[in-house]
Amino acid sequence: MRYLPLTETDRRTMLGVVGAKSVDDLFRDVPREAYLTTLVDLPMHAGEIEVERELAKLANRNVAAGSVPFFVGAGAYRHHVPASVDHLIQRSEFLTSYTPYQPEIAQGTLQYLFEFQTQVAMLTGMEVANASMYDGSTAATEAVLMAARVTGKKRIVLSGNLHPHYAETIRTTAETAGLEIVTGKAAAGMGETADHLLDDNTACLVVQNPDFFGSLRDLTPLSDAAHTKGALLVAVVTEIVSLGSVTPPGEMGADIVAAEGQSIGNALNFGGPYVGLFATRSKFVRQMPGRLVGETVDAEGRRGYVLTLSTREQHIRRDKATSNICTNSGLCCLAFTIHLALLGEDGFHKLAGLNHERAVMTADRLAKIHGVEVLTPSFFNEFTVKLSKPAAEVVEKLTKENVLGGVPVSRLMPHDKSMGNLLIVAATELTTPSDIEAFATALTKVLA
């Protein structure tokens, strides 16, 4: 019973305390169709060596991102992370620190969180940022909940061009929070913004820039439209490097910015852990979720850092908490802070410029291929193309040519049949001219 330390008596006692008749009662919110009816197709037990070998065989079926020309994006991006970042975050004073429950004795942790907040506020063009969140999608969800608290309204309008995973995360939480979700229709190219769905009962309009299809847009008219209806504008950014070239959301009238910071300091890592960025206006700071580190002086006038706001339920009474976020992805935001500090302002702008340059090179080359139409008129490092064949099939065939050629829109929007031939293509500073030519050659062959 090495891994099952509780006896049957222990289990009955625990169930009695919480008022459940059986363990199954604890999972009553899980839809019945999600339950397994049989055991999974795995051996009942195996030794450690056997398990390692089996997992290695499964892993070898993957095509690693760095092993072939790579054009996958759609919310997670392959960028260069300097070796110094990983070296520094693995120092014991960083690696072993976690939540500053006694913040006054964790000055080093508080200082880098303060620097992180400053960086995020500057990048997004906002007045205040928190000490990070789980990831971009949950940060967007927290932004929606915050907007509902600020406005006292329950109607949430989502742009149809919001990343489907972000939209789904918001819907999952909204279901239990009593919020009404209204979504615009997705459209590639300049797309749809859903501002026509705003009314006087709307708490916020959530729009992504660059959007899911890669399109860039001016958020100012959307901000004006939202504010006219007494709603807030929530801007979502999935590619934080774009803010090295694109006007920050705060300068275009956004009230809350929720972003994914993975591109800076954090490798793809099979999907996580990532780091959520969250920034807002100073007037909304008391409704901001997460934690806020501030700078002060001690009794002798020396500079110090304090946990100014702790709005999560672990720190204050649950009914006063603005969020139940239980961590701030501390090590990931430290990696973000170190990488951005190494780049500096000029380096960050140059990195963004290089990303855009490589994306333009890629789009121009693909546009010359028969059966390819570039749909995105204005983009940063990601754009959408329409193929003469179903994109999912094309991507599968491209892998046989040792090219990871992007993300089929149908993979993330499977119920929209009009998206079947659309492919989202991303290029970063790691994309070389030879990668672009290999992609073009393989795509020409597959579409022939």
Cα(234)–Cα(225) distance, integer angstroms:
13
Mean pLDDT for back-to-back runs of 10 residues, the chain (448 residues): 79 94 91 90 87 92 90 97 95 72 75 95 98 94 97 97 97 93 90 86 98 96 97 98 98 98 94 93 94 91 88 58 70 95 97 98 98 96 98 97 97 93 98 98 97
The 3-state secondary structure of 146-210 reads HHHHHHCCCEEEECCCCCHHHHHHHHHHHHHHCCEEEECCCCCCCCCCCHHHCCCCEEEEEEECC
DSSP H helical segments within 19-135, as ranges?
48-59, 83-89, 92-95, 107-124
Sequence-ordered list of residues with C-beta below 8 angstroms from that of 281, at least 6 positions apart, any chain: 126, 127, 128, 255, 256
Q: Which two tokens stand for residue 339?
A: 């990488």
> Other CB atoms closer than 10 Å to residue 152's CB: what's the count?
8
- What domains, with CATH codes, occur in the chain? 68-81+345-447 (3.90.1150.10), 83-340 (3.40.640.10)
Sequence-ordered list of residues with C-beta below 8 angstroms from that of 234, at least 6 positions apart, any chain: 140, 143, 144, 147, 204, 205, 206, 207, 254, 255, 256, 257, 258
**CA angle 406-276-219, nearest 5°?**
75
> Is the Cβ–Cβ distance between 144 and 169 less than 8 Å?
no
Only one residue has tokens 């991303």, namely: 426
Dihedral sign of CA atoms 111, 115, 116, 120 in order: positive
- The conformation of residue 66, written as its DSSP 8-state character, comes to G
**CA angle 171-138-58, nearest 5°?**
100
pTM of the model: 0.89
Q: Is 448 helix (H, G, I), strand (E, B) or coil?
A: coil
> Is the Cβ–Cβ distance between 85 and 339 less than 8 Å?
yes
For the chain, the distance separating the N- and C-terminal CA atoms, rounded to the nearest angstrom, is: 60
Task: Look at strands 180-183 and 372-374 and give their pairing.
Answer: unpaired
